[in-house]
Amino acid sequence: MKKTLLATIALAVLAVAGQAHAADKKVFALVPKALGVPFYADAEKGCKEEAAKIGAECLFTGPAQLDDAEQARIVRDLITKKVAGISIAPNNADSIGSVISAALAKNIPVITFDSDAPKSKRITFIGTNNEGGGVSAGEAFAKALPKGGTYAVITGGLSAQNLNDRIKGFKSKLSGDFKEVAGSPFSCNDDSSAAVQLIQDILAKNPDLDGIFFSGGWPMFAPEAYTRALKNKVADLKSGKFVIVSFDTLPAQIKLLKEGYATTLVGQRPLAMGTGSIDLLEKLSKGEKVDPVVDTGVDIVDSSNVAKFATGE
């Protein structure tokens, strides 16, 4: 009887200890601009894998679609939950500043990834040097159209700092021989279907267009619809008379490039953004210092090296 009682007490103690350990487990939040955007899948994967390595948890949460107010509400909820740190990809750099300050006031470290909010009090940014990546895109575009031409830009949210930086860098490498069509840049609000529809509309209104720059890969995330939208430009694309330069190198995009449905891709490294977010937040939660900017780099992919990216060698 005494042994049974002691065993019961021991199990109870172990259960309480287990609950306490679980309660002590750090929870770091990764907040994208919107859930369901294919680009963020690798960021989520990296975040969860890295968190598991250090015995922490990655909470991947965000608005269902681009929504400044909802993204801010989610961050406020994370503050209430007392997470150990937050990494956020701001949809609107100006509107997110106040909730970042609110989190910091509660001693919750906040960093940004993918998209920055440089005027806010965020501690650091991890991601692509967006203006630099845009410069690379502009160089590729200008090289493909040495005589210049008319072009359009398709972007996500018009207030997104990272996308605007890419467009700025892109345009900086275009000479006076290039002319942007009226209405550009065109916003798809990070929606693949809307991006494909924009391609159709742009080409219908500008049949002599020479090229398009995508500041993100949205239309290519719907490959079948994308190829249909470009059916009248396929021959020109494959012969180099029509140019498409896009950010991102997701598998669907690599396949499309290999098949001749794009000229150049500027690849980011979302997996590194996810793993790096956890590393940085873990250091900050321990009171350690981090660099104000962590550049995850880019990959330039075209017909000369697409086979390497397609096979993952």
Structure confidence at residue 20 as a pLDDT band (50, 70, 90):
very low
Which carries the bigger pLDDT value, residue 217 or residue 310? 217
| Predicted confidence (pLDDT) at residue 15 exceeds the cutoff of 80 | no
| pLDDT at 36 (0 to 100) | 86
Lowest-pLDDT range of 76-80, 158-162, 239-243, 262-266: 158-162
Lowest-pLDDT range of 18-22, 24-28, 111-115, 302-306: 18-22
Q: Mean of the pLDDT values across residues 20-44?
A: 86
pLDDT tens-digit series, residues 204-228:
999 999 999 999 999 999 999 999 9
* Side chain identity at residue 290, one-letter code: V
| Predicted confidence (pLDDT) at residue 309 exceeds the cutoff of 50 | yes
Cβ contacts of 79 within 8 Å, gap of 6 or more: 99, 102, 103, 106, 108
pLDDT tens-digit series, residues 52-100:
999 999 999 999 999 999 999 999 999 999 999 999 999 999 999 999 9
For domain 26-127+270-295, say whether CATH 3.40.50.2300 is its number.
yes
On whether the CB atoms of residues 75 and 96 are closer than 8 A, the answer is yes
Q: Where in the chain is the domain with CATH 3.40.50.2300?
A: 26-127+270-295, 130-267
| Predicted confidence (pLDDT) at residue 313 exceeds the cutoff of 80 | no
Question: Phi/psi class of residue 88: alpha, beta or left (left: φ > 0; alpha: ψ in -120 to 50)?
Answer: beta
| Predicted confidence (pLDDT) at residue 150 exceeds the cutoff of 60 | yes
| pLDDT at 9 (0 to 100) | 44
Structure confidence at residue 24 as a pLDDT band (50, 70, 90):
confident
| Distance separating alpha carbons of residues 277 and 294, to the nearest angstrom | 10
On whether the CB atoms of residues 278 and 242 are closer than 8 A, the answer is no
Structure confidence at residue 21 as a pLDDT band (50, 70, 90):
very low
| Superfamily in which the 130-267 domain is placed by CATH | Response regulator (3.40.50.2300)
| Predicted confidence (pLDDT) at residue 306 exceeds the cutoff of 90 | yes
pTM, full prediction = 0.83
On whether the CB atoms of residues 109 and 79 are closer than 8 A, the answer is no
Burial of 20 (0-12, 13-18, 19+ CB in 10 A): exposed
